Structure 1
Amino acid sequence: MELTPLFPFEPTSTEAIPVGPQWIGQVKWDGVRILTYYDGHEVKLFNRKLNERTFHYPEVTDLHSYCRADSVILDGEIIALGSDGKPSFYEVMRRDGLRRLEKVPQVQKLVPVTYMVFDVLYWNHEWVTSYPLSERQQLLGKIITPTPHVQLVENFPDGDALYRVVEAQGMEGIIMKDASSSYLINGKDQRWRKKKYYRDLIAVVGGVTLRDHIVNSLLLGLFDQQGSFWYIGHAGTGKLTHTDWRAFTERIQPLVQQKMSFVNKPPRAANTLWIQPEITVKIKFAEWKEGHSLRQPSIQGFVDIPPHQCVLE
């Protein structure tokens, strides 16, 4: 087995929650999708965009503390809790977004994480992606020993009831999975479906506004299939602290430009500082308004995703 990263199985979006004895529900955690690879010699971690995260999460790379395997590929999500006790994308990005890896031990103490494992693709030199999900989960139950930093994701038989709980708690949403489903590498289909309580997307920052020389809001955009960059809304609220805004103000200095990159002119653009569309950010929002603009956008955290992948669907 070579430690070659794979694009994981992705769910399709749905509004209707499927019902039937073959469907299981799982909480959709507001974290970072991570696949763990162990070839019998070394452990490596990669996210769903195939960016390596091996050194960001030493709790997970200590594989023998929670997994019995000669070789294995696990699929799951790294989460971190906010002050309200709920998964926080902002908090987990304090770990995932680290660029200076010598800071990992320090931030590890400040932001503890948990690896929520929900699938296995490979075990003891054998691919198990063709096995039904129910059998892959039985295998997980045999080889994974939960620890404070590694947990198995729980199944729920009633998707509607699970969604009502998630909605009441203000969490991200649910995933419904067909228990007979094989694991589809590098693809998505309706055997896995996601229903979000709120919507989110990854947008590109094309401009900013300032207050007292510090950035206080972002002008967001997405590219179309032809590569044109479209404004989709302003966001100034969310989870960024004053320290985050100061650091971001310094970060954009090399990207400032005279020309606006958007093909459509944003409202209230008179005092905007235009920047090259290179920084990406996760945005939570209520809905799309007419004209492809976001209602109630809220900043969740900056992400390491190439801007050209942020495309209007």
Structure 2
Amino acid sequence: MDFKPILPFEPVSTNEWPAGTHFTSQIKWDGVRMLLYFDGSTTKLINRRANDRTLQYPELTNPQAFCSAKSVILDGEIIALSDGKPSFYEIMKRDSARKSSTVTRAMQQVSITYMVFDILYLNGDWLLHLSLKERQNRLASIIKPNHLVQPVTNHDDMKALFAIVEQHELEGIVIKDLTSSYVINGKDKRWLKKKIFKDLYAVVSGVTYRGNIVNSLLLGLYDDQGQLWYIGHAGTGKLTVKDWQHVTDLVQSMTTQERPFINQPERSKEAVWITPQLVVKVSFMEWTNNKTLRHPSIQSFMKMDVSLCNFNQN
């Protein structure tokens, strides 16, 4: 088998529920997307960006322990749990290891599970043209589940699954067309992802520029003592080019030499500090262990009472 990396099929974000009985739903596991290649003697683990991660996950380099195939390409998500839930920050401890000694230590600290949801190649034959349902049947016939590898389960009621995922504060769900073929380096609405986001009001006390236009906002919240804490930066969301130009014009009169945040923002060297007058509504996935927002997205901005921007809103 040629080990030339494959770029996987990706889901499209949605806020809608697709219609039809040919869709199934699965939990969206908060880990790292990983393709496993096995040619009968050699195993490779390649991530969604075609980077080799075989060193980082040696537990998965013996597919005979969990798979009966003579040769195979599997698609799935490697996860690590924290308090019984998938934790992106735990799995990053494994994925970011770059030396054998570091990997050994990380293995002792972080256990992993490979959540397998697709099969692309089996015993010399490509399965890309088959429907998802047919591929899932092939996958079920060769996977031997254990503590290290588990097949991802289908759920017919996508709304009920989403409610359960939301209740347990997981990442979201993936909705898939059971008739869909697998498109290498593809992305279309036959696979959908519906993520769970939270929102809050944050005060802007720094900006970064690309050229002469503001391209990112440094966000903060006040604690009970009135101290402003940096909680992350955001440069994506619903703001238009015209909105960014308006923000650029607006902050010209707000600049200050002193850093308003009590802690050190990660973009301090690039930042221009501003007085805390501008408030934005931000959606985000979760709080990180470092007390910053994961995947913050700007929804709207306004000049308003910054007393809204405190940790108590969470």
> Normalising to structure 1: TM-score of the pair?
0.70
Letter in 2 for 1:193: L
Q: Give the aligned CA root-mean-square deviation in angstroms.
A: 3.4
- The total of aligned residue pairs comes to 247
**Could you give the per-residue CA deviations for residues 84-117 of structure 1, whole angstroms, max 9, x where no partner exists?**
x110101110111113332212211210010000
Report runs of 4+ in structure 1 exceeding 6 Å deviation: 218-223, 265-269
* Contact 1:134–1:179 under 8 Å retained in 2: yes
Match of 1:5 in 2: 5
Change (3 A) 1:219 1:69: farther
Which stretch of the first structure deviates more once superposed, 169-178 or 13-22?
Answer: 13-22
> Normalising to structure 2: TM-score of the pair?
0.70
Match of 2:279 in 1: none
Match of 2:227 in 1: none
Match of 1:63 in 2: 63
Match of 2:54 in 1: 54
Match of 1:250 in 2: none
Query: Which protein shows a greater Rg?
Result: 2
Match of 2:97 in 1: 98
Cα distance in 2, alignment partners of residues 49 and 222 from structure 1: 28
Change (3 A) 1:65 1:16: same
SS of equivalent to 1:290: strand
Post-superposition offset of 1:21:
1.4
SS of equivalent to 2:82: coil
| Structure-to-structure mapping, 1:139-158, within 5 angstroms | 139-158=138-157
Q: Is structure 2 residue 258 aligned with structure 1 residue 270?
A: yes
Post-superposition offset of 1:157:
0.1
Post-superposition offset of 1:189:
0.3
Cα distance in 1, alignment partners of residues 2 and 102 from structure 2: 29
* Contact 2:46–2:52 under 8 Å retained in 1: yes
Post-superposition offset of 1:40:
2.1
* Contact 1:178–1:192 under 8 Å retained in 2: yes
SS of equivalent to 2:86: coil
Cα distance in 1, alignment partners of residues 99 and 214 from structure 2: 31
Cα distance in 1, alignment partners of residues 172 and 133 from structure 2: 22
Match of 1:191 in 2: 190
Change (3 A) 1:137 1:288: same
Match of 2:29 in 1: 29
Post-superposition offset of 1:184:
0.9
Cα distance in 2, alignment partners of residues 37 and 140 from structure 1: 14
* Contact 2:14–2:192 under 8 Å retained in 1: yes
* Contact 1:24–1:178 under 8 Å retained in 2: yes
Cα distance in 1, alignment partners of residues 68 and 51 from structure 2: 26
* Contact 1:19–1:159 under 8 Å retained in 2: no
**Could you give the per-residue CA deviations for residues 130-169 of structure 1, whole angstroms, max 9, x where no partner exists?**
0000010000101110110100001000000000001111
Cα distance in 2, alignment partners of residues 222 and 195 from structure 1: 31
Match of 2:298 in 1: 288
* Contact 1:222–1:231 under 8 Å retained in 2: yes
Letter in 1 for 2:172: G
Gaps of 5+ in 1: 201-217, 238-262, 297-313
Letter in 2 for 1:35: L
Q: Is structure 2 residue 218 aligned with structure 1 residue 233?
A: yes
Match of 1:253 in 2: none
Letter in 2 for 1:98: A
Cα distance in 1, alignment partners of residues 221 and 108 from structure 2: 29
Letter in 2 for 1:23: F
Identity rate, percent: 43
Letter in 1 for 2:215: W
SS of equivalent to 1:25: strand
Gaps of 5+ in 2: 200-204, 223-246, 260-264, 272-289, 303-308, 310-314
Change (3 A) 1:234 1:137: same
